Structure 1
């Protein structure tokens, strides 16, 4: 059995030596991050894996190392190769690690039309090497990390640069290098999502709660759990699951003891923090600012309702969507990578005036479409919108 060679770095002396080795390596740097999602509240990196040709694989322990700026100095001038970069970039930035440019092997595989784009599938497709994906959902805040986990983590970066080279050749063959460059740049420079205005509404099972006062109690319980989870750095659902918070709201207990008797109110902190949850319930019951039954949203109506609410928009969407889907087939990539469904819906609902290639192109760009997407889709959408007007006009003309 082949054993992957790697070095675990958990002290400052080893850290500086590893950074010197990586700085002396050649070509791009493969980078991956392991978090403890589902176990910890934070999304911080508990392991950062880096590979560079001529240097080898290093597994860095950020909590033990502290300041990671020497690693940024070592590889901050070369392209970083990541798989599903949007997942790892926030955690890397938290440690002061920011690539100058990236190659995203998952996104590259999507743009090339690969059927499966998970890391294991892409490595197997491009290199013929099978990876065992056994520990992706593990608690990476565990210390010491088991040997089998470290081996898994090393394999996540060991082959990435070779994969990148194969995908690059495919991108050249399909004339998609500029497409990929724009997409990678968009991922790297995408601003963080603004925080949700009412994140408590994401409570699973909240749809069963009726009445604004009950919703205020649910909000107070969610807020109390969130604060405690952040304080303890534990995933909120591991303290008290969503379903338990909702069960407490639905039970409408009269006293703290009644709350303790709710069988569905479970979780490791459900009883040890009973005072905290009861205080939240009382706070919700006394709150004078009651939430609305439904959250206000700026989203569009679901397309199934368009034929009644905006028949012209419905016609535009029905004319454009199959043409965009066919264009994606012709370009050998998923439709959502050619143009997001939301972007198409928004421009169909409120198109520019007049409708032509140029105005549609401007509208797509304003909605965040990349130049390559605008170039390929604007003429198709503009023609579809014009045709939809003619198609809806023809019946009345023939009837007259």
Structure 2
């Protein structure tokens, strides 16, 4: 059982000199637990507002709002000597790279470990209750972490997210070893730290990500793009999340109907009268701009050849059956992006297959021969 919160020292850091001193202490550790809190529900461009770091003796809460320069932590995060423990690491890694350019090495993700072990419930609350009998207070899960000062109970909430992770990592590591899955887990932890920069980029075609966008005609897709750009400009000016200005469903409805008058806007089921008063003129202008713009076509996604699709289907079936045998989700056996890569390459020997599995060497050693046998047995040529 890990130490209770009251037995740990809580260290609040909002001064540069205190951060430098803390970084010196953290750099001497062999393992750290890390979490972040952001203001995604309260700002147009979300930012990391709080960084929680726990050692075996202390919980540090670092005020990222007061300390825009967190560079003393960069070397620690990128260290291949200090193990960094996260729960659901991907979001934290993306946010810390986006705001500070931090890169990470040598991590352990307790949520991913639980998935690899085949657990049905992999949330932090479920795992802490399972292993330590700790019930987490979720009251501040959707709080505005950008506001200052933070309430004392918010600080207690925040420290919980990193406080137990070191002990939880020890429990899960032991189970991964017992199941002969630790090397597979480490492979996935490493994959999480690669290509983070690709996930933080935005582009002019982001409106295509809205559900229903690809069902529109090219002319109405151009209207959707204009409406999307209008919403983004308003959200940015008001420093609000885009969904708090207008919902995606509203944008799709407006692009479909192409209203011409204020009265037409009032007929939309997803638009409130207050929104019509506030944004109506801008929406009508955006609709007209979209109607006069060049039609928009979805980005080209070339349909794979039938032979590739057939190989993909065969490999997915193999993955499903292998997952059942191991008692883990099928994507734990082989990530989908790797499976797609292999299906396209149609490897006919182990050396070619190994080249396609360059980022999953453990899986190549464990499953490579089986996969090659499945592919070659079916004899599917391009």
Q: Which TM-score bucket, shorter chain as reference?
A: 0.7 to 0.9
After TM superposition, the structure 1 stretch with the greater mean CA deviation from structure 2, 43-52 or 272-281, is: 272-281
Establish whether residue 363 from structure 1 lines up as the match of residue 356 from structure 2: yes
Establish whether residue 344 from structure 1 lines up as the match of residue 339 from structure 2: yes
Aligned residues: CA RMSD: 3.1
Note the C-alpha offset of 1:240.
Answer: 1.3
Structure 1 contact 241–266 (Cα < 8 Å) conserved: no
Structure 1 contact 27–53 (Cα < 8 Å) conserved: no
Note the C-alpha offset of 1:72.
Answer: 3.7
The verdict on how the C-alpha distance between 1:313 and 1:186 changes in structure 2, with shifts beyond 3 A counting, is: closer
Partner of residue 62, structure 2: 60
Structure 1 contact 240–266 (Cα < 8 Å) conserved: no
Find the aligned partners of 1:361 and 1:267 in 2 and give their Cα distance. 60
Find the aligned partners of 1:267 and 1:12 in 2 and give their Cα distance. 48
Query: What are the ranges of 5 or more consecutive residues in structure 1 without an aligned counterpart?
Result: 301-308, 393-400
Find the aligned partners of 1:320 and 1:31 in 2 and give their Cα distance. 36
Note the C-alpha offset of 1:159.
Answer: 0.6
Structure 1 contact 81–104 (Cα < 8 Å) conserved: yes
Q: Of residues 204, 208, 213 in structure 2, which corresponds to 1:201?
A: 208
Partner of residue 283, structure 1: 289
Structure 2 contact 260–284 (Cα < 8 Å) conserved: no
Find the aligned partners of 2:312 and 2:215 in 1 and give their Cα distance. 33
Show CA shifts across 1:214-261 (max 9, x none). Answer: 221111010121233234331111011122223333332324x34554
Establish whether residue 160 from structure 1 lines up as the match of residue 155 from structure 2: no
> Secondary structure of 1:380's match?
helix
1:364-383 equivalences in 2 (<5 Å) = 364-365=357-358, 369-383=359-373
> Secondary structure of 2:12's match?
strand
Note the C-alpha offset of 1:68.
Answer: 1.3
The verdict on how the C-alpha distance between 1:267 and 1:42 changes in structure 2, with shifts beyond 3 A counting, is: farther
Partner of residue 116, structure 2: 111
Find the aligned partners of 2:210 and 2:327 in 1 and give their Cα distance. 38
For normalisation by structure 2, the TM-score amounts to: 0.83
For normalisation by structure 1, the TM-score amounts to: 0.80
Partner of residue 151, structure 1: 156
Find the aligned partners of 1:267 and 1:36 in 2 and give their Cα distance. 28
Aligned length: 370
- After the TM superposition, which segments of 4 or more aligned residues of structure 1 sit over 6 Å from their partners? none
- Mark the structure with the bigger radius of gyration: 1
Structure 2 contact 345–356 (Cα < 8 Å) conserved: no
